[in-house]
């Protein structure tokens, strides 16, 4: 077998893969995949997770931080833990496999593509970065290979169990005679018109592969030869049209078995219909992932919206960041594809027979509730479900809705009431991500038609939602809604709404501040919280933020809200330091911080300082965490855990002991540099005692979780929090039970 160095040397010496077939066959055409897999497995078992020493701002003391990129991949490992957990229903485990694949695709499109761009920097610029892009990319690929190996094993186990449960995955070699006519007709009528094959080395030069699309590379042999192995094949490519057709085909029922076929395999089954002039050999799946950045940073002097419209057309033509190929692909073909597509060595990533397994998110379930999570219908809200008017209820007292446990429809109802209320003059809303068929924006259009002054701030830089947001912006403008767009150098990530009413000379404001997007689709999956209030301390501040977004004032003057990029960072610095000072004075102190990501080094440094002072700090983080807990002289009083369950933990809640008079903030911002410095964000101080009690209950349940919580540290092991004889606590289930007790009776 070739080792890696020999393989690289041979690859460099080969300029004509066809002419080099004898040499390659002698040394490399034998199946190298088991060898590569074993070598990778041996190396990967000892992968470090990126702990590095970095100086603080003074340059004197040193603290340890986890590398951001590898920390992100640790979240992928936690997703795989759910996929492999036998206590998770079988079809939900497959769903988590889809989540893992989707997240990894985005990671390569965004993070790896950005790192690849750093390879073009000179030595001086790289030295300023403090990282080695080459080394980091190497580590990333090693970790990803390890996770893909684990992923393949998990998928195998899941489908083995699905087979026992009455599911069967059919490929082109296992089609029953009873299904032949059905598949032939389906292919001819729905698939063949969408399939356009082309030769790998055609007259038009190298092919262009669309981003994140599965292609089949097919061996073709001229008909009439007696021994197929005696000559070199031609190669054709074709795109699997899963962007137009379902990825999975449900076959007609035969008995009690649910039979499912990949669209890829339906095409493989009919390749002779596509290439009637050839003998068809084997076929291999490949996929190219491209850079997803729009690269419009220099467009602020012109029309940013128009710049984004133009850049969207080029997104799927970005430079490659990953080329995934079937592990059975012959080396000769890999070499030809690499050079034909202009790929670099680091682009090549070993894969399996099927790609784009994010499509497992839509795998047919055949009504098998026994293999799915039990239904958790939305709970009645303790106030909103028992009143005729949401706005009247908010006038009486601040209210909170916890989605998806309680319905997001209450917010749509709030907007509908405002649209119909003759006293309402104005409605304001920020939009970051909305549903394709948005009830929220439809309600605002109705309000505009009813004569209200409606203003929407549309963030057109929300990654992967730019096109949808531009579409809705056009619809809003056509309806007479004043539509404002992205600000120079800032993304607007705050989730706020404002309604203004007038009764004679009296003007009243209603505000909404939340942690989640105004998106009814994701609100059914993401765990978030939204507060409705008429408290003038808050409503005046929210109005200030909207006036700032509209360009009516240079800076918002807020006395209660913390806003980025102006006061949020400084406010958190002061809150952390207040706890540290209390600890130094021997007084009670503490923090409980819940977020999606903890990445900002300046914030982490202050948390380390607070820990050194003796402050007990509990952190609940879903994804990236660059802080290393439990390090003597640095973070001995800090514990970090992550919770992954059926709902995606999306809320940001920051609680500070404050001498016993606890302060709790709900925020749209994670503790990341981009959120604190380059986005418009809002953190809401929770003043209502009942809302504060509910949020504190949630935090306490999550800190007690010994079922779905994992400890986070630099090892990347994601060890589950153990019960140690205590009663079982699954925080999402327990919080739902808590909210059910608050719900009004029948």
CB-neighbour burial class of residue 82 (10 A; exposed 0-12, middle 13-18, buried 19+) = buried
C-alpha to C-alpha distance for 651 and 522, rounded to whole angstroms? 13
Phi and psi angles of residue 243, each rounded to the nearest 5 degrees, phi first: -80, -15
C-alpha to C-alpha distance for 315 and 582, rounded to whole angstroms? 51
Residues 6+ apart with CB under 8 A from 392: none
Cα distance from N-terminal residue to C-terminal residue, the chain: 72
- Is residue 134 among the annotated active site residues? no
**Cα dihedral sign, 701-705-709-710:** positive
How many other C-beta atoms can be found within 10 angstroms of the C-beta atom of residue 141?
Answer: 18
Q: What separation in angstroms does the CA of 707 have from each of 30, 711, 712, 716, 721?
A: 46, 12, 15, 18, 7
3-state helix, strand, coil in the chain (%, to 5): 40, 20, 35
Structure-token match 């952190």, residue found: 619
SS (H, E, C) 327-359: CCCCHHHHHHHHHHCCCCHHHEEEECCCCCHHH
CB 329 within 8 A of CB 190: no
C-alpha to C-alpha distance for 142 and 148, rounded to whole angstroms? 10
Structure-token match 């169990």, residue found: 161
Q: What 3-state DSSP class applies to 620? A: strand
The one catalytic residue among 493, 529, 647, 657: 493
C-alpha to C-alpha distance for 58 and 195, rounded to whole angstroms? 61
Phi and psi angles of residue 365, each rounded to the nearest 5 degrees, phi first: -105, -15
C-alpha to C-alpha distance for 216 and 13, rounded to whole angstroms? 27
Catalytic residues: 493
């Amino acid at each position: 077998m070739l080792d890696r160095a020999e393989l690289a040397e041979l690859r460099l010496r080969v300029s004509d893969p066809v002419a080099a077939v004898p040499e390659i066959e002698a040394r490399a055409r034998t199946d190298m995949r088991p060898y590569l897999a074993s070598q990778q497995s041996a190396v990967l078992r000892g992968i470090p997770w990126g702990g590095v020493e970095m100086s603080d701002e003074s340059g004197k003391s040193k603290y340890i931080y986890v590398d951001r990129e590898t920390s992100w991949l640790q979240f992928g490992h936690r997703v795989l833990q759910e996929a492999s957990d036998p206590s998770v229903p079988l079809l939900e485990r497959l769903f988590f496999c889809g989540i893992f694949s989707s997240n990894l695709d985005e990671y390569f499109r965004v993070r790896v593509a950005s790192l690849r761009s750093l390879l073009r920097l000179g030595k001086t610029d790289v030295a300023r970065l403090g990282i080695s892009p080459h080394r980091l990319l190497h580590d990333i690929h090693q970790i990803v290979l390890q996770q893909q190996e684990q992923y393949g094993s998990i998928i195998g186990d899941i489908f083995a169990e699905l087979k026992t449960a009455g599911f069967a995955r059919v490929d082109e070699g296992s089609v029953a005679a009873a299904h032949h006519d059905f598949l032939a007709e389906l292919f001819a009528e729905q698939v063949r018109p969408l399939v356009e094959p082309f030769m790998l080395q055609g007259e038009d030069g190298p092919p262009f592969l669309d981003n994140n699309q599965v292609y089949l590379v097919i061996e073709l042999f001229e008909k009439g030869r007696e021994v197929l192995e005696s000559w070199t094949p031609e190669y054709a490519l074709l795109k699997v049209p899963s962007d137009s057709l379902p990825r999975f085909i449900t076959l007609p029922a035969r008995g009690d078995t649910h039979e499912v076929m990949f669209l890829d395999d339906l095409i493989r089954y009919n390749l002779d219909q596509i290439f009637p002039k050839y003998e068809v050999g084997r076929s291999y799946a490949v996929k190219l992932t491209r850079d997803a950045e729009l690269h419009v940073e220099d467009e602020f002097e012109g029309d940013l919206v128009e710049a984004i419209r133009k850049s969207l057309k080029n997104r799927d033509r970005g430079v490659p960041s990953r080329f995934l190929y079937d592990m059975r692909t012959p080396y000769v073909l890999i070499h030809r594809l690499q050079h034909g597509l202009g790929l670099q060595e680091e682009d090549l990533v070993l894969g399996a027979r099927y790609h784009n397994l994010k499509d497992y998110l839509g795998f047919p379930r055949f009504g098998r509730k026994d293999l799915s999570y039990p239904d958790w219908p939305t709970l009645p809200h303790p106030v909103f479900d028992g009143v005729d008017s949401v706005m009247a209820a908010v006038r009486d007292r601040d209210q909170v809705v916890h989605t998806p446990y309680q319905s997001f429809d209450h917010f749509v109802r709030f907007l509908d009431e405002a649209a119909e209320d003759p006293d309402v003059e104005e409605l304001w809303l920020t939009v970051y991500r909305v549903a394709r068929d948005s009830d929220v924006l439809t309600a605002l259009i109705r309000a505009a038609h009813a004569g209200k002054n409606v203003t929407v701030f549309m963030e057109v830089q929300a990654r992967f939602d730019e096109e949808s947001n531009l579409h809705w912006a056009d619809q809003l403008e056509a309806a007479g809604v004043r539509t404002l767009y992205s600000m120079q150098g800032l993304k607007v990530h705050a989730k706020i709404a404002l309604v203004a009413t007038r009764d004679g000379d009296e003007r009243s404001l209603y505000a909404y501040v939340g942690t989640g997007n105004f998106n009814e689709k994701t609100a059914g999956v993401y765990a978030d919280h939204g507060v409705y209030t008429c408290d003038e301390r808050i409503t005046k501040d929210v109005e200030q933020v909207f006036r700032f977004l509209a360009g009516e004032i240079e800076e918002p003057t807020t006395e209660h809200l913390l806003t980025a990029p102006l006061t949020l960072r400084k406010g958190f610095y002061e809150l952390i330091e207040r706890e540290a000072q209390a600890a130094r004075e021997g007084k009670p102190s503490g923090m409980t911080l819940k977020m999606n990501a903890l990445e900002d080094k300046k914030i982490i440094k202050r948390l380390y300082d607070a820990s050194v002072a003796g402050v007990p700090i509990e952190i609940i983080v879903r994804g990236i965490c660059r802080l290393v807990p439990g390090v003597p002289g640095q973070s001995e009083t800090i514990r970090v855990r992550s919770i992954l369950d059926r709902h995606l933990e999306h809320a940001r809640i920051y609680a500070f002991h404050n001498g016993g008079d606890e302060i709790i903030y709900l925020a749209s911002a994670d503790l990341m540099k981009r959120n604190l410095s380059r986005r418009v964000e809002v953190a809401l101080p929770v003043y209502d005692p009942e809302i504060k009690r509910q949020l504190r209950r949630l935090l306490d349940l999550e800190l007690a979780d010994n079922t779905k919580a994992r400890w986070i540290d630099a090892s990347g092991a994601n060890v589950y929090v153990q019960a140690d004889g205590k009663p079982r606590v699954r925080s999402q289930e327990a919080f739902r039970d808590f909210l059910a007790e608050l719900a009004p009776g029948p």
